[in-house]
Amino acid sequence: MIKKSISLTAEGKKELEKELDELIKGRPAIAERIAIARSFGDLSENEEYSSARNEQKVAESRILEIQEILKNAKVIRGGKKTKVDLGATVTLNMNGKKVTYTVVGTTEANPLEGKISNESPIGKALLGHKANESFEHNGKKINILSIN
């Protein structure tokens, strides 16, 4: 099986490393909750135990996921860009409304923070365009005002 490289900004990589560190540091507290819950009696009816075990499963799953992402990560280099590419921050005029997006890989995408995936419809449409270019996407006129 061929592993696909995962594009991350330097900031996104740092955030994942921080999350991984916090999850690993949280392991002893979860283990302690499990140990305490075991002392409450019958495990089949012990909600505290079930809750702690579920928390452990979620944390361990996320640790493995982050480790896999970081192992396959390709850090996107920032800097001045002449055309829209991964890591570019673009300011657009979309049907008269000014919006700013940063084009990132799928792992970092968070539209509420203005981070759109290069694989999203608008992300794909923006790739390769230059500042001051205009094009139409899904019936909307898009003018690229600037690229950073």
pTM of the model: 0.79
pLDDT at 39: 86
pLDDT at 1: 47
CATH number of 6-75: 1.10.287.180
Q: pLDDT per residue over 29-63, tens digit each?
A: 999 999 999 888 777 778 899 999 999 999 999 99
Domain assignments of the chain as residue spans, ordered by start? 6-75, 77-147
Q: In what order do the strands lie in the sheet with 89-94?
A: 115-117, 97-104, 89-94, 140-147, 134-137
pLDDT at 3: 64
CATH number of 77-147: 3.10.50.30
Query: Which parts of the chain register pLDDT below 50?
Result: 1-2
Question: How many of the other CB atoms lie within 10 Å of CB of 47?
Answer: 9
pLDDT at 79: 65
